[in-house]
Amino acid sequence: MQHLRVVSPSAATADVVDLLRSSPAAINVVVLPECAVDPPGDVVMADVAREALSPVLDRLTDLGLDRNGSIAVEAVDTSLSHHATRAEDAAPGLSEDALVWHEVVDRTESESRASLGYLALMALATTIGMIGVLFDQPILIVGAMVVGPDFGPLAAISVALVGRRWRIAGRALATLGAGFAAGFAASVVMALLLQAWGLADQATLLADRPLTSFIWAPDALSWVVGVLAGAAGMISLTTGRSGVLVGVLISVTTVPAVGNAAVALAYGVGEEATGSLAQFAINVAMIVAGAVLCLLIQRTWWRFQGRVAPDRARVASDR
């Protein structure tokens, strides 16, 4: 269940209450008249089955409450109620698989901004990845991919494309570019420092590195893995399975590819830099493609589930 709190102008409160009471997936409807101060109005609260939350939020935004009032949602960890069980039975699908579009948009929109923390992590992750590729150390590459927060803007781009929110897509793309630019610059500086300290040079880069050569030598699997990783990442995002995201980050090579391109340019090995940038471009494009495709399938499925929900509501009401 999800706890819904709405601050509603008094003139719209009756419509909000009617909406919630008409939904078999909403329970515990409470109205606190004239309790809200800023924005002013009434407070309406209810618990809604997660599977049915998205259409309820759509109706509330249609009433203009996102502009004239306030809408907040938080998870209910435990709900011991026969009414709650009946509400979940009336809702379509399973709560673990529910696609709450407004939640996804809000979560990814915050990832479309280039914070200092994001830029710092991108610089650190890319530099770690560069060292891992340079010295043929896969464990460092894995660590770099886990540290790198680049999936956030990639997810934001995907969600914005599906929702046709071009401004957010552009901002997320700029954030992604700024992050990798910071990582590229930091990797070049580190590569030059390693050379100055006598720890690495062009010979190190040109040496046989069998464990990490895939970073600068993309093949057909790079396309396939990118699409699969993008789809897995979107499922992780929409269903709240955060553990899956770690595997997604490890399976793609965006961060180490940029790091290797940086050290290759710093040491004057243009062919390897070109291959690394190609690997990077393939991964980014395929991650977005896989995420967009997955999100379109999820939205289509949940729209279908919404159409069959009335039959389930009647069954639940008979229990």
| Mean pLDDT of the chain, nearest integer | 89
Residues 6 or more apart in contact with residue 54 via CB below 8 angstroms? 98, 99, 100, 101, 102, 302
> Comparing C-alpha atoms, which of 167, 110, 162 is closest to residue 292?
162
Q: Which of 138-142, 196-200, 241-245, 310-314 has the lowest mean pLDDT?
A: 310-314
DSSP at 44: E
The torsion angles phi and psi of 39, rounded to 5 degrees, stand at -75, 150
Mean pLDDT of 148-152: 91
Q: Pick the more confident residue, 246 or 212.
A: 212
- Decide if pLDDT at 216 tops 60: yes
Residues 199 and 142 sit within 8 Å (Cβ to Cβ): no
Greatest CA separation for the chain? 78
What's the predicted TM-score (pTM) here? 0.85
- Decide if pLDDT at 292 tops 90: yes
Distance CA 96, CA 240 (A): 8
Mean pLDDT of 227-237: 90
Distances (CA, A) of 179 to 149, 185, 200: 9, 10, 25
Q: Which two three-digit tokens encode residue 16? A: 């909000």
Count CB neighbours of 278 within 10 A: 16
306 pLDDT tier (thresholds 50, 70, 90): low
315 pLDDT tier (thresholds 50, 70, 90): very low
- Decide if pLDDT at 316 tops 70: no
Count CB neighbours of 53 within 10 A: 25
Distance CA 13, CA 239 (A): 31
Determine the pLDDT at residue 156: 95
Mean pLDDT of 58-74: 93
Residue type, 280: F
Q: Which of 135-139, 164-168, 238-242, 270-274 has the lowest mean pLDDT?
A: 238-242
Mean pLDDT of 31-52: 93
Residues 268 and 202 sit within 8 Å (Cβ to Cβ): yes
Sign of CA dihedral 252, 258, 261, 263: negative
Distances (CA, A) of 250 to 139, 143, 145: 10, 8, 5
- Decide if pLDDT at 102 tops 60: yes
- Decide if pLDDT at 312 tops 80: no
